[in-house]
Every structure is written in C-alpha cells, then in structure tokens.
Amino acid sequence: MFQSRHLAVAAALSLLAGQAIPAPTAIQVRPGGGLAEWQSDDARCNKAADSARLDDLPVGNPVPVGPVTGGLTTVAGAEIGFVIVGLIETSHQRRLAASPCMRNLGYGLVRLEPVEDRAYRRLETPEAENLWRQAFLSQDLTTRLNVALTPAVPRLPPYRDQPFTQGGLQVDPDSLASAPGPVQVNGVVLTGKATRSRTAVLAEPFQTDAGYIQVAGSPGTVFYQADMRPQREPLLRQDGATWCGPVTQTAARGPSSIETYCFAGRDDGYEIYQTNGYDWFGGAYGDGFTLPRFTKPIVLRERDHDDLGPLDFEIRAAAIRYNNIDLKAVLRRGGTEVIVWSRRLKFNAEGVATLPLWRLRLALTRFGTISVKAIVDDHGDGHGWRDGD
C-alpha cells in the first residue's frame, strides 16, 4: 500500500517494534490553503528538517531495540542492529522536526472522520493521495480547523523579541569585554553582565496527577522565561513560550522536594520539563526529562521588572581544534553556576571564528590547537549567538 513520506518512517518503526502500521488520523490544513500550497509548504518544512544539524532536531521517544537485535547473535550482527536503530531514530527525529514547522506556517491537524480515514487508507499511489487531498481541502473545513487550532489549555505569556535577549537572558552590551590575552581550553573568552529578561508570578495553584512523578505550584512563585528551543532555523522551533520556576516534586513512595521545572504551552496541553539548574535559572535544554502532558490551566501574571538583579555572564572555550571551537555560556550567582548555552563554531580559511552578538561580534583567532585570541568589535549583523555557524 502507498505510504506518504510522513508515514514512511512511522511504518518502519512500527514494523521493527513488531506492531501493525498505525492508520493516519489527521491531515494538515491551513486556512484558505489548497493542494499546491500544502505541497509547497510540506516540501519547505521537509527541506528545513533534512538540512538541520543533528543537535537542532527534537528528541524523540527511544526506539525499542529488542525486535531489531533479537536473533542477531554475533557482535557484528548486534552492531548492525544498533546502526539500523540509530538511522531510523534520526529519520524519526527529522520527521518530528517538520511538524512544528507546519504549525509555524499556520497549519492545524484536522482529525479524519472514520469514513474519511478508511478512504485515505485505501489510497495506493501518490497521484491518488493528491486527488483525495485536493477534494478534502476543497471542503468548508472552518469549524474543524478552528477546533484543531484551539489549544487544549490557555497559552502562557508568549515569546517577545528584544535586543540583546536570547535564551531568557538580557545581556548588557556595555558590560561585554573580551579576554586581554590568548585563551586556552576552559578559559574565558568573554565576560559581562546579564539579567533575566522576563519574569512572572503564578496566580493560581496547580498540581499534576499523571505519571510516576507529580509536581505542584504555589501562588506567588516567581517563574522566569527560558528558551528551550535550541534550533537555529526559526521554522523548526516550537511556538509556545517556556517558563521555569521552583515547584514541589513528589515521586511515588518518595519524599517531596523543591525542584526547577519548565512549562510550555502546546496544542494538546502543557509540556513539563525538569531542567538541570537552579530556581534562579535553569540549565540548557537536554539535561533533564519530560513529564506527561498537563491539561489543566496554568496562570502566570507577568511582572514589570525582575528583582533578582544582574548575574555574571561568561563565554568559555570548552574545546579548541584546528577546524572548530566549542563554546559554552555560563551564568554565575554567588558560589553557583549553570551552563545555559553551547555551540560549535567553525574557523574560516584565515583561522577566525565569529559569534554574532547583535550590534557587536566576538571574533576568535586560532593559534594552532592550543589557544585563541578574542576580540569584541562593532561588526555585528543583528543576529544573536544562537545564529553562529
């Protein structure tokens, strides 16, 4: 049976897991959009996902390895099995990356009625699917699309672009200073001051009730905006803003503790993410774990200003190689520090790597594979550090 590209990887995953191929249940629809527009946007999103770096892809659910490696009794056979799993997981991640892209372009997932679903599953060629989709999109889908585009819960305060702001931090450009001499591995190439760009207060209590771990928030708790969207390509970023703060964590048959969690509104509820860090600022995306979706309202009231005050901000050279350099940004407060960002930059033919800092720029000149010389100049192009290549 014909399978569209969006279903091909899912089919492979299901076969490897020893399960039947799941039937499609929803179709991407955009207000006023037709087949040609969908094909163009679908190709655009798949191109963005296919060309993204691996560290820019969303983290999908682990692929079961048992059915793949079962029966592969030799070491070589087991290695082949894990390679297959790795390739499929990467393809799965790229497929996942295309979904927020379509959402960012205004598409919603319209659920198919049973008779529509059966008709769709009987399609055997790409041409047949296109004809079916064209007929489906020609209907008046306004009511069904409004349902698809209405979030299950109220969204948290949305992201707001501000100069010298990224990852929930407002960097003071006048405080930025480069190291006076050559910097070796683990050395600081740039120092400065930063504040939390936006904070809000929890207006109403909430408590989750699903999963092994539950969390509860108390009114008056201060949350800060973070950015758990590491993607350099804006089309691949989730649209819901992320807010983090201290909540009470309770595990089954375990004691309660105060931990830092991050919350982001999605169409099907709030994504809840336990981050590595502190109540004053959490760590980089990818250091924690995700809880089940929460589908009751979380109400945050944004404040006019943050009373935490300035934080020490540093960019360090985590590793220096001939072709590239690894950087990491660190926040320090008192005797604690947290890594909030990391990026690998390439050296050009002249041995220089550059990091955009809005109206400024950090230029790093390589000296072998031992050290770099850092200079901050005013040749910025308006982009932030996430956009460094």
230 in any annotated domain: yes
pLDDT value for 252:
77
Coil, helix or strand for 212? coil
86 plus 123 within the same structural domain: yes
- DSSP symbol at 22: P
pLDDT in tens, 192-216: 999 999 999 999 999 999 888 999 9
132 plus 11 within the same structural domain: yes
144 plus 42 within the same structural domain: yes
Which of 275, 302, 329 is the last residue in one of the domains? 302
56 plus 184 within the same structural domain: no
Of residues 298, 288, 219, 214, the one with CA closest to residue 264: 298
pLDDT value for 14:
38
48 plus 121 within the same structural domain: yes
19 in any annotated domain: yes
pLDDT in tens, 142-161: 999 998 888 889 999 988 87
Q: What is the DSSP string of 110-177?
A: EEPPHHHHHHHHT--SHHHHHHHHHHHHTS--HHHHHHHHS-SSPPPSPP---TTEETTEEE-GGG-E
Distance, in Å, from the CA atom of 19 to the CA atom of 63, rounded to the nearest integer, reads: 13
Which of 93, 122, 149 is the last residue in one of the domains? 149
140 plus 41 within the same structural domain: yes
212 plus 177 within the same structural domain: no
Which of 286, 302, 318 is the last residue in one of the domains? 302
| Structural domains counted in the chain | 3
108 plus 253 within the same structural domain: no
Ranges in the chain, pLDDT < 50: 1-24, 60-88, 389
Distance, in Å, from the CA atom of 61 to the CA atom of 140, rounded to the nearest integer, reads: 36
155 in any annotated domain: no
For the stretch 279-282, contacts whose Cβ atoms lie closer than 8 Å and that sit 24 or more positions apart, written own/partner, are 279/245, 279/246, 280/196, 280/224, 280/308, 280/311, 280/333, 281/168, 281/196, 281/224, 281/226, 281/244, 281/311, 281/331, 281/333, 281/338, 281/340, 282/226, 282/244, 282/338
Give the structural domain span for 253: 196-302
Torsion angles phi and psi, residue 336, rounded to 5: -120, 155
Specify whether the CB–CB gap between 333 and 231 falls below 8 A: no
Q: Assign residue 174 the CATH number of its domain.
A: 2.60.98
232 in any annotated domain: yes
The two structure tokens encoding residue 293: 């979706």
- What's the pTM value of the predicted model, to 2 decimals? 0.75
329 plus 272 within the same structural domain: no
pLDDT value for 71:
32
15 in any annotated domain: yes
